[in-house]
Amino acid sequence: MTNLLQSTKPVRVFVTGGAGYIGSHVTLALREAGCELCVYDNLTTGHREAVLQDELVKGDLADRKALGKAMKAFRPDAVLHFAASIEVGESVSDPLKYYRNNSVNALNLLELTRELNVDKFVFSSTAAVYGSPQQFPVTEDAILAPINPYGASKMMTERFLDDLAAADQEFKYVSLRYFNVAGADPKGRLGQDYANPTHLITRALKTALGKYPKLQIFGTDYATQDGTCIRDYIHVVDLAQAHLDALNYLMLGSDSQVLNCGYGHGFSVREVIDMAKQVTGVDFPVEEVGRRPGDPAQLIADNNKIIRLLSWHPRHDDLKTIIETAWFWEQKLALSGFKQIV
């Protein structure tokens, strides 16, 4: 596929949530590909240090005026929309936060995107839109039946995009349905850093570092081989590449798409814990507890569509590599904090 991101005129990309975990890995890859960036982030979970200072506009998506000002000043060719609330458990206890941050705020952004005649949009969606799928791997045309407000809030935005694209022939989008994103920049420049991390790999590594006394396994009675949930863990660097491929695809004038981002195979919670122990060399304490609300037993992507349409070539499809890069980052973070990217 022709690579328009490498053309002489830099592509201008407006990135919401670009200072967050996934957003910052994508902005790094876009920067390295020669794109010009404006990162719009309220820095509630993102980090100032994760992006270049002259790229960053601190602002909230709920603040339409500030958002419009930033977009008008930057004049983007495309918008990449990462900013969102992302915790399944929290979405069950505080659903309205999720509908506001993930659905209502996306409307603000979409309205401004069209007012300013920006017609290319890449959306961070999630495998959580499928709920508890009955078939594995799950294809993009599976029924959408989210089992938590997080998935439902993202499904709403997918619907906005689909309806907008149907009404407006100029507007093209790619929704990327992420499976379980993990790992970190192999050079240790970026990684995950949340105040209260809930993700399995991060919790396991922080337990190995002694930040938590034990790691809990949420549910051992699922209908899976070892009774724990199975997830398709995708390295954040491969996911970043999927965004560049999606952007390039839109720049080529291609049609809107909804695409799964995963490797097509999964690991159980127990398998992830075993690998985390192997990589860290720490036999940290593990406790089996009851199920966490909103967790499906199994989520595995059928990734044939993204490989076919975007010529996406994942390069880090290996649980050990994922955990090793995350471990490298966790150790660095523990030693010296989040350092400014250069």
Question: Active-site residues: which are they?
Answer: 150
Task: Report yes or no: 258 and 158 within 8 Å, Cβ to Cβ.
Answer: yes
- Using DSSP bridges, classify how beta strands 56-58 and 78-81 pair: parallel, antiparallel or unpaired: unpaired
Q: Of the listed pieces 46-54, 61-69, 196-204, 236-244, which binds ligand UFG according to CB under 6 A?
A: 196-204
Q: Cα separations (Å) of 80 from 14, 169, 306?
A: 6, 19, 17
Peptide bond into 293 cis (omega under 30): no
Write down the residue that tokens 């969102």 correspond to. 84
Instruction: Give the x-and-dash track for 22-61 against ligand UFG (CB under 6 A).
Output: ----------------------------------------
253 Rama sector, left if φ>0, alpha if ψ -120 to 50, beta otherwise:
left
Looking at the Cβ atoms of 171 and 267, the one nearer to ligand UFG is: 267
Looking at the Cβ atoms of 50 and 326, the one nearer to ligand UFG is: 326
Q: Is 128 in the site for ligand UFG (CB under 6 A)?
A: yes
Looking at the Cβ atoms of 155 and 299, the one nearer to ligand UFG is: 299
Q: Is 216 in the site for ligand UFG (CB under 6 A)?
A: yes
Q: Is 244 in the site for ligand UFG (CB under 6 A)?
A: no
Q: Is 218 in the site for ligand UFG (CB under 6 A)?
A: yes
* Position closest to ligand UFG via CB: 229
- The radius of gyration of the chain's CA atoms, rounded to the nearest angstrom, is 19
CA 185 – CA 105 distance, rounded (Å): 29
Instruction: Give the x-and-dash track for 77-96 against ligand UFG (CB under 6 A).
Output: ---------x-x--------
Task: Report yes or no: 132 and 139 within 8 Å, Cβ to Cβ.
Answer: no
Binds ligand UFG by CB under 6 A, chosen from 16, 45, 126, 192 = 126
Looking at the Cβ atoms of 13 and 229, the one nearer to ligand UFG is: 229
Q: Least separation, in Å, of the C-beta of 76 and ligand UFG?
A: 25
Q: Is 124 in the site for ligand UFG (CB under 6 A)?
A: no
CA 309 – CA 138 distance, rounded (Å): 17
Q: Of the listed pieces 19-27, 57-65, 211-219, 327-335, which binds ligand UFG according to CB under 6 A?
A: 211-219
Listed residue (63, 7, 68, 58) closest to 33, CA to CA:
7
Site residues (CB under 6 A) for ligand UFG, limited to 174-193: 179-180
Check residue 138 and report its DSSP letter. B
Q: Cα separations (Å) of 284 from 84, 183, 207?
A: 32, 20, 7
> Which residues are at the interface with ligand UFG (CB under 6 A)?
86, 88, 126-128, 179-180, 198-200, 203, 215-218, 229, 231, 269, 292, 295, 299
